[in-house]
A and B are shown apart, each in its own frame.
Chain A
Amino acid sequence: MALDRERSGIETLQLNEHARACESCSAELAATANMRSIISSVSSVTPAPADPGALTAGILTAISQFRRPRSRPLLDRFIRLTSAAVFRFSYTVIVVFSIGFFALTEFRSFTDLSRLEERMNRESRFGSPRVSYTISRESIAAVLPADVIQMVSGSSGETVTMNRRTLEQGVDRLERAGFHSYRLPTGIAASRPVGEAVDVLTKALFPKIRFVHRSSDS
């Protein structure tokens, strides 16, 4: 790269300085200069069509056979601007709704138990059921000393983790919503330890809520 004419002034000076003491570089520089001179003389020979007039006429004739769409600058500008605006608006709406939908499905407070159940069943189909409901705060602490309770799902055999804090939050919401009966989703409470835990909770701490146990094959 240093030997072609794209080199900088400083590079040229350094190269010339070096070439004075280096025979091979000196020869290379001379060859480059020779090549530059050849190319320079060649570039001055510009190819031209034999009949430039015929070329121009041919182009204009070809163009005359085409029809340019009628120029409508104002309408075109309006369409361009509105289509851009519509695109931007649609894009924004799609993004906002996508985020909103995601937030609603992931973080909403369930006031409708059937929906909660539906969601839990849906999640359990993907092999990772999550439980986020149970009885009241104090009673949970009394009955469930561990922060995290692990249960084995009766249907899939997978381990379900119940976090005490999320359980408390879930139950608070259920209570505020006035639910007095809740049916555990299929599979979640089918294993014996879970069933026993739920029984204890039910009897000791939250008598007004009735838990209906369902077996995994029901």
Chain B
Amino acid sequence: MNSNPPVLTEAEIRAIVAGTLAGDNQVFGTLVRTYQPYAFSLAFRLLHNEQDALDAVQDVFINVWRRLGQYDPSRKFTTWLYALVSNRCMDLLRSRRRRVALFESNQETLKHISGGPDLTLIHSNKELAEIIGLLTAHLPPTQRLVFVLRDLQNLTVEETAESTGLSVTSVKANLSYARKRIRHMLTRRYQIGGVSS
């Protein structure tokens, strides 16, 4: 979470929850402004489509507003938010059968970006991030979710487990498979990230 803006303190969140429940939606705006970068980055990394990510984030914040009375202040707000975003995005991925669509579109995009397995074409972290992001679309949904939360959103293994509802062991196993697959794809396509053999 190094590149994300600072989070609100527990007391600030309590005040926002109380204000929102009392009918002050402007206070809720503070919560949205503070946490929408977290929600959007996760949604985008899972869905790989800006409009879909925007829709998912909007749905999630409306859901947060509706369920704010159920929020448990002893729980970290970002973990709760990530759980809602993850669920929403996984629902979207499943219901729209996006895996097929993503695979097809990514073939085109990858061709467009890489133009072949040439390291010199990767100019920046941004481009590398784009490639990694596209490669994650080839992971099974659970591996993708765990990889994005742990390695790209920088949650701890325990936070990832809480956000996904998986056990810590399952998170570690899925993470290990996901990293291996990503590395394999990077090596195969771009000769980066792999062993020399």
Show the binding face of A for B, using Cβ within 8 Å. 1, 4, 6, 24, 27-28, 30-31, 34-35, 38-39, 41-50, 52, 55-56, 58-60, 62-64, 66, 68, 71
B40 close to A43 (CB less than 8 A): no
Number of A-B pairs whose CB atoms are under 8 Å? 125
Task: Render B60-89 as a binary contact track against A, CB cut-off 8 A, 1 for contact.
Answer: 011001100000000000000000000000
Docked pose: A52 CA to B36 CA in angstroms = 8
Q: B residues within 8 A CB of A60?
A: 25-26, 28-29, 32
Docked pose: A153 CA to B192 CA in angstroms = 86
- Could you tell me the distance in whole angstroms from the C-beta of A127 to the nearest C-beta in chain B? 49
Docked pose: A41 CA to B126 CA in angstroms = 9
Interface contacts beyond A49-B40, A49-B50: sample of 5 additional A-B pairs, CB < 8 Å, sorted by A: A1-B172, A31-B193, A34-B193, A59-B62, A71-B22
Q: Does B9 make an interface contact (CB < 8 A)? A: no
Please tell me which one of the listed residues B22, B26, B173, B196 contacts residue A27 in the complex, with CB atoms under 8 A apart: B196
Q: B residues within 8 A CB of A44?
A: 2-3, 125
**30 contacting pairs across A/B (C-beta < 8 A):** A1-B173, A28-B195, A30-B195, A31-B183, A35-B179, A35-B182, A35-B183, A35-B193, A38-B128, A38-B132, A39-B152, A41-B128, A42-B125, A42-B133, A43-B2, A43-B152, A44-B2, A44-B125, A45-B129, A46-B3, A47-B45, A47-B53, A49-B36, A49-B40, A49-B57, A55-B36, A55-B40, A59-B58, A63-B62, A66-B65
